[in-house]
Each structure stands twice: as structure tokens, then as C-alpha cells.
Chain A
Amino acid sequence: MEKILITLNINGQSCEVMVYPNDTLLEVLRDELDLTGSKESCGEGACGSCTVHMDGKPVRSCLTLALEAQGVTITTVEGLANGDDLSDLQQSFIDHGAVQCGFCTPGMLMSADALLKNNPRPDKKSVRKALAGNICRCTGYTKIVEAVAHTGNPKDHCPDCKPGK
């Protein structure tokens, strides 16, 4: 098996990397490009901790071959913040206590970010539906759902909501 040179567009930057055909996008992100935000938990597309965006849509990077990720715009969790400025969604997660061990958090953020781009003020039912493919072992989901639902309405929902930066 020979390595192939591929070009990936990640978080707005173009990078060239040598990959084997059997390298998944997740492995390349973590091992070759040091973007360790995306996590491998199940490795089989069932847990959502590997979620990244391809052309704005959330995808399982553990089941995507790296060489098939060419020609699309890839966004990872590292691309949500603007330098040191966290996104509203990320800040909402912190404010609402939606992070415990943090392992599911990157995947949750990516799935939630995709939802919020289409629906900036989702109700809790829509949030649960959008995050149905992401599993969390720690939080029991309540705070995560609240954090996502309240991102667009930080003034009047609950004591945790902060009135914006």
C-alpha cells in the first residue's frame, strides 16, 4: 500500500498531507495534523464524538476515508472559536455547566453548531433531535440541551444564561 498526497481544506486553511488509503479523516486530523479536538470513542459511527463538518453538514469522521475528504470545506471543533474568542455556543456550554469530562463536548458542539446555523432559536425538542446522534456518559444531557437551546436567547431563559459578552 502506498501513501498518496492529498490536499485538505480545514478550518479555512489548505494543507497537504501524505495518507494511506485506509486512513480515516479522524486519524489524519488527530495524528498528522495535531487537531486533537475530534475524539475517537467507538470508532464505528455510533457515538458522535468524532463529528466534524463537511460543507457545513455534520459527518462521522471516523467513517470517512481521508482521501475522500478532498474537495470539501472541513470544519473541526478547533474552528469554532475565533482565536481566543469562544463562540456564543461554546460560551453557553460553559455558562450552563454542560461540560463534565468533556469527551463528548467537541462532537456535541459540532452537531449543535450545524443545527444553530439552520435554526438559531431551536426549541428543546429540535435540539434533542439534532443531538440524537451524540452520546454523553456524564451529564444526562439536560444541561447540554439547555446550553444549545439558550444560545440564541441569552437573556431570559434561566439563571445560568448570561446576557451576552
Chain B
Amino acid sequence: MRLPRFKYLGPETLDQALDLLNTHKDDAKILAGGTDLLVRMKKGLLKPNILISLKALNELSYIKKQDGYIKIGARTPLADIIASDLIQKEARALFQACEKIGAITIQHYRGTIGGNILQDNRCHHYNQSDFHRSGRQACHKDGGKICYAREEADRCNSTCQSDGATALMALGANITLESKGGQRTVDLANFYTTDGIMPFAMESHELLKEIIIPLHGAQSAYQKLAYRSAIDYPIVCAGVLLKHSLKKEIEEARIVVGAMGRSPLFLAQVSSSLKGKKLNDTIAFKKAADASMDSSATFAVHNVGATLDYRCAMVSQMVFQALEQAAKYIKR
């Protein structure tokens, strides 16, 4: 499959990149690893006139611990995150999520954490080639008026299938967006529009610069369900954070379910139901897992290649497994 034509710009510094982005705005797209952008361009889903490449911007590739936070540059390759001792110990959910993204060959040069967060929403009706889509009416995301995933739907129901975003939301991460005008830091949980067509509350002249993970002294875990051990996007995934007291009771829990809705779903009520429970309270975990299933089932549509019943049932399983894992790491 051929890429469509575009103009290639290779800024040397972040300032240059922000300048170009500010000049071209909607005409341009950012190229990091390209595993999402270039694929969509090959399928004819998107034809930007200009690509602004982050290849030379090594200043956006770092992992460091600072003032009680882990700070990760948006262009950091997934392989670096996986190899980081710091992430493995203190942000385990992110480590587990990144391990499962793509394949080893994608995690080196081509897959970046920023790119994983900013990957466009997916739907197996939309993510098809030009040729496939030419045989039928365009759907909402494709500029049309119909949804193939949910009958009679007046809006796009494409799914956020980002492993990284699910894990990071469970970790309570913030992100920094930079532009020529300035900078702003946003809680990842507030970054989503819940619109399938434009999922991110981000302007066209803004660039994702940094991911900031607070160090809670908590443990986290991530579980992904996919058909194969590599390459595949999650059918269902769950990220979980457990903060505990010295008495081995849960002080704070964060349960996030991914690949079910138009954004990762932070289940606040279910999470707070675990407060005060003991770390070995399997029954409480099971209850929370089932409640997660009920909460997220309403968002799911049949668009990622597994039946709705199965996916919903698996939410409970993924959440339960993630909770058990996080509790297990605490006991160590």
C-alpha cells in the first residue's frame, strides 16, 4: 500500500516544531513512530498535507524521577519504558501495558508512549482500506451519517484501544501539552472529549510533551485481553492502582477499564467501594470486578472483533485479575 503524497518537515528542536505546528495547524500532523499515523494514511483514512517529524527531537525522549513524580517524554520509545527499572518498580501497570503493545519490532524505533496515547479511536468498520470502504456509505467518523457498530446511532462509537492510556489513567497521570503560546498540564482523565471522531481535548497547534506520574507509594497492575500475544489491540483491558495503609487495608483504589468506550473509563464509584477493604478480600475484589462489568457494558458496541457478551464478561475477569495482581505485588 502506498502512502499518499505529503510535504515532510524535520524540525531540529522543540521550538522549531512548535513554530511549524503553529503555522500549519490543521494542515499538518505530527509524525513520531508512525505506527498509527502512517497506517491510517495508507488506508486512505487521512491525508495530511504536511508531516512534522519528531525524529530529531531527542529532548522529548527521557524517563526521570523528579520531586516525587516520574516524568516521561512523549517521544520515549516503548522499549525504553519496558527496560526502565524505575517504571517496573514504581509504575508497574505502565510497564505491563507497554510490554503488550505491538511487538518487539514496533517497540524500538517506531512505537512511542505519546503516540500510543494519541492513537486515534478504532472500529473494525472504520479502520479498513479505501477499497473496502468504497463499497458502502461513509460512517460518521468517515464524514458520513451512519454508524455500522450501533444501529441508528447518531454519533460515532469508535473505541479507544490504547493500552498506555488505560494504564496511565489508573496511575493517575497528568500530561503536559505545549504550544507556541505556552504550556498546560491536564489530568489524563479530563483529556478526553468522549467524541469518537475527535477523542482528545487538544488544539491543532498543541503538542503532547510530557507524561507525569505521581509516585503514590502504591502498586498497580494491568491486564489485557487480546487474541494473540502480540500485534493485537486489546479487546478488553483493565488498569488498577491500589494504595494501602500499614494495616494492609486499601486507602485508595483506581479502576480503569479500556477498549470498551470512546475513552478509557475511570470507574470512580466502583473504585471507592474498595476503600477500607483488606488486600486479601477476594470477595470484595470479585464484587468490584462485577460492578466494573455493569458500569462499562453500557458503553461497548460491537466494533472490535469479539461479541459484546464475551467482552462484557471479560471486563469482570480482567479487573479481578488486575486487582489480585496489584495486591500480590504489595504483599511482596
Contacts and interface: CB of A to CB of B under 8 A. Distances in A.
Interface in B65-112: 79, 102-106, 108-110
Contacts of A68: 53, 55
Contacts of A23: 3
A62 B103 CA distance: 15
B283 interface: no
Contacts of B229: 128-129, 132
Interface in B274-323: none
Contacts of A21: 5-8, 51
A48 interface: yes
A145 interface: no
Nearest to A44: B39
| Interface of chain B, main secondary structure | loop
Nearest to B8: A21
Quick one: which of A24, A60, A129 has the most chain B CB within 10 A? Answer: A60
A63 B4 contact: no
Interface stretch (A51-59, A78-86, A148-156): A51-59
B92 to A, nearest CB: 19
Contact of A133 (B6, B55, B103): B103
A123 to B, nearest CB: 16
Interface string A58-72: 111001110110000
Contacts of A63: 33-35, 38-39, 110
Interface string B200-211: 000000000000
Interface string B1-34: 1111111100000000000000000000001011
A44 B232 CA distance: 12
B42 interface: yes
Contacts of B34: 63-65
B105 A60 contact: yes
Interface residues of B, number: 32
B231 interface: yes
Contacts of A133: 102-106, 230-231
A132 B104 contact: yes
B55 to A, nearest CB: 5
Contacts of A24: 3, 38
Nearest to A58: B105
Contact of A60 (B6, B35, B51, B228): B35
Interface string A23-67: 110010000000000000001111010010010011110011101
A67 B8 contact: yes
Given A43-B42, A63-B34, A132-B231, A48 B3 contact: no
A158 interface: no
A40 B38 CA distance: 15
A94 interface: no
A133 B53 CA distance: 25
A106 B283 CA distance: 50
Contacts of A114: 104
A22 B5 contact: yes
B106 A60 contact: yes
Nearest to A132: B230
A64 B229 CA distance: 24
Contacts of B5: 1, 20-22
B106 A22 contact: no
Contact of A48 (B8, B39, B103): B103
Contacts of A48: 103, 105
Contacts of A17: none
B42 to A, nearest CB: 6
Interface string B102-130: 11111011100000000000000000000
Interface of A: 1, 20-24, 27, 43-46, 48, 51, 54, 57-60, 63-65, 67-68, 111, 114, 128-130, 132-135
5 contacts: A21-B51, A44-B42, A48-B103, A57-B108, A135-B231
Given A22-B5, A132-B104, 4 more contacts: A23-B3, A59-B110, A63-B35, A134-B105
Rank and list the top 6 A-B pairs by shortest CB-CB distance, nearest first. Answer: A133-B103, A132-B230, A21-B8, A43-B1, A22-B3, A58-B105
